[in-house]
Amino acid sequence: MPGVGSFHDAMQLLKETGLEAFIHQVVEEGKLLFGICLGMQLLFEESEEAGHTKKGLGLLGRVVLLKDRDQDGQRLKVPHMGWNELTFHQPSPLFDGVPEGFAYFVHSYYVSDMNPDEQLASADYGVQVPAVVGKGNVLGAQFHPEKKQYNGNGAAQTIYSISKRTEGEQMSEFYIISSD
C-alpha cells in the first residue's frame, strides 16, 4: 500500500482490493497497525486533499493542507521536505531508549484538530505537525522512519520490537502501511 501519493487514490485502492476491511479487522483483533507518511494520514477520518474532502479509514482525526505561511506570515516551502526536530509529548514504546532527534519529512498535508492524547510527537514547521500519532494498537509516523535510525535499528526492527511490547503481550503479527 502506498506510503506516498494521493490520499484519494490510495483509499480507492484499499476499497477495491478489500484491504480497507482487512485493516479494520486487523485493528479490531488488536494487532499492531503502523502507518508511514501517507499511510499515517489514511488512518484518519478524512483529508482535504486537492480541495475536496475524502474519507479515510476513520481510526483517528482529520488531515488538512499544510499552509504556505506560518503564523507570522513567513513563507514556508510546500511540500515540506527535509529534516525537522521531533519533540515527544506522550510516552510510547516507540520512544523507549530513544532520545529526541531529527526525522525526515516529505508531505504537503498534516493532521489537525486531533486529540492531544493521541499526538505522541510533533515537529515545528510553522505549525506543530503531528509527527507520531497513536491510539491503542494504531500508530503512525508522518516522517519516514526508514531514514531515522533508532539506536542502530532500522524501522522494521523498531516496529517489530514495539509489536512485542504493546500492552505487555507478545504479538505474532504486525502490519505496516507504506510503499517502502
> Which residues are designated catalytic?
37, 144, 146
With vertex at residue 14, the alpha carbon angle to CA 12 and CA 20, rounded to the nearest 5 degrees, is 125
How far apart CA 62 and CA 42 sit, in angstroms, is 9
Q: Which three cell numbers stand for residue 154?
A: 532500522
Using alpha carbons, list the distances in angstroms from residue 81 to 31, 35, 105: 31, 19, 5
Q: Which of 66, 73, 1 lies closest to 35 in space, CA to CA?
A: 1
| Three-state DSSP state, 37 | coil
Asked if 27 and 33 touch (Cβ cutoff 8 Å), the reply is yes
How far apart CA 17 and CA 44 sit, in angstroms, is 19
**Chain-centre distance of CA 113, in angstroms?**
15
